[in-house]
Structure 1
């Protein structure tokens, strides 16, 4: 315990896709039950805001264990402060357009981030750029899963280490 309350965002990987279904009300109930306060879920894709005196690393371990026990799946969670999410949003380097998705890929380790950044991309289709612990990614709508970066990050070996969020979602979490 640090004693100071911190506002966190937990990004659950693979929730409500691929057979792992968690109702956001159940997720909020679980997080409250762990003693965290000011709990709110955002959208139905495994995003939860809450306040805790604990360090992010301790919160991550606690959440992953609780999710595994309660919902019976191999849970992986990225825990960041609201301030860190706001900085990530502010750092998005690509022009936003109605026909493109603006994504942020969260990679737990620098090695995974570097491996993904090494994926050869067709710059006429998609762009990727390193950020602080993330990869900024722009891809045409309708091409996400078929793009080089989309295919690379969906590889099974990255499952515990990577989660992706649309910039619009992150903007809601940073408020």
Structure 2
């Protein structure tokens, strides 16, 4: 069985896109997946999938993401992007953060998960706006983020990344990334 993590974008923030985690666990379980767990209330789901298990045939991250998105939209009326990473991908990501050695305050570290690797020209043009002190390292479909002055007032936000890179993005803080990697390792 392969462990996966599904990251739903924009769940339970503000007044829109409200989803109960019990409903989310039920939906992912009903798709044929096992050992389904959620983390926090922000659309993080860890689950196991066997090759060929679940509705729709053999799992792959894109197929899993599409199935979860469709099921959530059909059953709950909430249509949001879903990004899926394997447990192995999360473990590697958690082990390779380039800012861990220089930043002691892990609340200033985040990861932006991208739906796909950005086009080479867009990736090369990505810069931190204005006098913002944020730092970033693009690593394929993820961006390690370091906010020395905190994340609260930065212009280098998830919306900015989506606009600049032309791809869907969802951001998680470092504590959540580590917790999801641990849950997906079980």
State the TM bucket, normalised to the shorter chain.
0.7 to 0.9
| Distance (Å, rounded) in 1 between the aligned partners of 2:39 and 2:120 | 26
Q: TM-score when scaled to structure 1?
A: 0.84
Q: CA deviation at 1:174?
A: 1.0
Residues paired across the two proteins, number? 169
Please, what is the CA RMSD of the aligned residues? Answer: 2.6
Q: CA deviation at 1:123?
A: 7.8
Query: CA 1:17/1:25 → structure 2, altered by over 3 Å: closer, same or farther?
Result: same
Q: Corresponding residue for 1:109?
A: 116
Checking the alignment, whether the CA contact within 8 Å between 1:82 and 1:174 is kept in structure 2 is: yes
Checking the alignment, whether the CA contact within 8 Å between 1:91 and 1:131 is kept in structure 2 is: no
| 1:131-142 aligned within 5 A | 131-140=139-148
Secondary structure in structure 2 of the residue aligned to 1:148:
coil
Give unmatched runs, 5+ long, in structure 2: 51-58
Checking the alignment, whether the CA contact within 8 Å between 1:100 and 1:138 is kept in structure 2 is: no
Deviations 1:127-149 (A, max 9, x none): 111113111101146x4253131
Q: Corresponding residue for 1:153?
A: 161
Structure 1 residue 130 corresponds to structure 2 residue 138 = yes
Q: TM-score when scaled to structure 2?
A: 0.79
Give unmatched runs, 5+ long, in structure 1: none
| 1:20-99 aligned within 5 A | 20-53=17-50, 54-94=59-99, 95-98=102-105
| Distance (Å, rounded) in 1 between the aligned partners of 2:17 and 2:120 | 25
